[in-house]
């Protein structure tokens, strides 16, 4: 069955059905998993080469209006020391990112809405603009006008993870005040504003099934996502879910996370897929395994080390004490062992985004 699913997947994007994807996500036989990852890695190389795109992450603040049951920076976590970087700090870190040769940057924070915050991000974007970086924002749910203002100020990509495409499961891991429907509408608004649109989910959530994960991948196709950022759920001790959820072995979480990368690559072919830090929290070479499973993006942390312990969405986050230069050298060496190189000086835009926008462009 796995051989026939792979053959079908390689025939073209979105050739698999939800049942096929559920099979791929649930695989636990090492030989079958090996075949799937080899096929997914081959597709990654077809669209991106043996090159990994880097986006330096600036965790600009851990203040958050959301109260998600799984997240370490949820607003009800009274044990957390809150911080917000200044615009000067963000501009300085962006210069470090450019100096590393990454050519792309991610500004990430807790979810905050309001005019003061909107203007603050606009100011940061305009100060960063002369560096010529491809800027991704991951700042949560906002009104469409806010997304448009940030786009006009220089942001080109936006990552808003749906966390699960199953509204019932979403409701079990969020307070009643959190709306799955609004989150989906925000993704549609981002597309209307012209962003490269990214989303993603958690795997290994309590009560989640392979069918749920298969539908997540189908959802990525339905919204025509350009970028995918996924990771296995890892508990945080100061959250409701972390205190009550049954503990899955790290090996099981890692298997599901890697299976999701491979299945998504085989389904969508040309999107950017991140190999996330959560994978490394589960295995020392977790991010490298993510690349071999079909991912083509890594996101090294360039935030000042003094703030990193205050931005832990889950327990056991790695690289808390590595500065930007140490992280750069480490990743370069690790990727070289795979026969992969770092795409220095390349912004690494989504091949899917480039294909769909060029198809809509008027002919000369």
Largest CA distance in the chain: 60
Neighbours of 161 (CB within 10 A): 18
Residues near 251 by beta carbon (within 8 Å), at least 6 away in sequence: 282
Nearest to 48 by CA among 250, 276, 298: 298
Q: What is the pLDDT of residues 277-326, one digit of tens each?
A: 999 999 999 999 999 999 999 999 999 889 888 899 998 888 776 666 66
Cβ atoms 197, 225 nearer than 8 A: yes
The answer to whether 293 and 215 have CB atoms below 8 angstroms apart is: no
What average pLDDT score do residues 169-195 get? 98
Domain 2-354, CATH 3.20.20.70 — does that match? yes
What's the mean pLDDT in 210-239? 97
pTM for the predicted model, two decimal places: 0.96
Taking only the tens place, the pLDDT of each residue in 234-243 is: 999 999 999 9
Domain boundaries, the chain: 2-354
């Amino acid at each position: 069955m796995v051989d026939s699913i792979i053959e079908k997947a390689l025939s073209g994007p979105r050739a698999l059905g939800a049942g096929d994807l559920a099979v791929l996500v649930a695989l636990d036989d090492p030989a079958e998993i090996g075949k799937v990852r080899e096929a997914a890695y081959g597709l990654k190389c077809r669209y991106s080469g043996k090159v990994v795109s880097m986006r330096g992450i600036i965790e600009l603040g851990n203040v958050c209006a959301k109260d998600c049951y799984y997240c370490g920076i949820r607003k009800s976590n009274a044990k957390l020391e809150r911080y917000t970087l200044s615009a000067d700090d963000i501009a300085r870190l962006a210069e470090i990112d450019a100096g590393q040769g990454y050519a792309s940057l991610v500004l990430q924070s807790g979810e905050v809405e309001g005019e003061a915050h909107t203007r603050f991000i606009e100011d940061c974007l305009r100060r960063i603009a002369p560096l010529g970086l491809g800027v991704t924002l991951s700042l949560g749910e906002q009104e469409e006008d806010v997304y448009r203002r940030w786009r006009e100020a220089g942001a080109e990509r936006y990552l808003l993870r749906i966390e699960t495409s199953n509204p019932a499961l979403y409701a079990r891991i969020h307070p009643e005040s959190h709306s799955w429907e609004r989150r989906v509408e925000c993704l549609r608004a981002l597309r209307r504003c012209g962003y490269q649109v990214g989303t993603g989910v958690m795997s290994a959530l309590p009560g989640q099934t392979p069918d749920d994960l298969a539908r997540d991948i189908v959802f990525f196709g339905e919204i025509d996502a350009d970028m995918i950022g996924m990771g296995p759920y890892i508990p945080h001790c100061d959250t409701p879910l972390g205190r009550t959820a049954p503990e899955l072995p790290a090996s099981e979480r890692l298997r599901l996370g890697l299976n999701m990368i491979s299945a998504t690559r085989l389904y969508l072919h040309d999107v950017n897929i991140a190999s996330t830090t959560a994978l490394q929290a589960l295995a020392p070479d977790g991010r490298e395994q993510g690349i071999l499973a079909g991912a083509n993006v890594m996101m090294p942390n360039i935030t000042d080390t003094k703030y990193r312990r205050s931005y832990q969405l889950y327990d056991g986050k790695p690289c808390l004490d590595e500065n930007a230069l140490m992280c750069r050298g480490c990743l370069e060496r690790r990727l070289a062992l795979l026969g992969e190189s770092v795409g220095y000086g390349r912004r690494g835009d989504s091949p899917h985004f480039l294909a769909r926008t060029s198809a809509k462009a008027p002919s000369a």
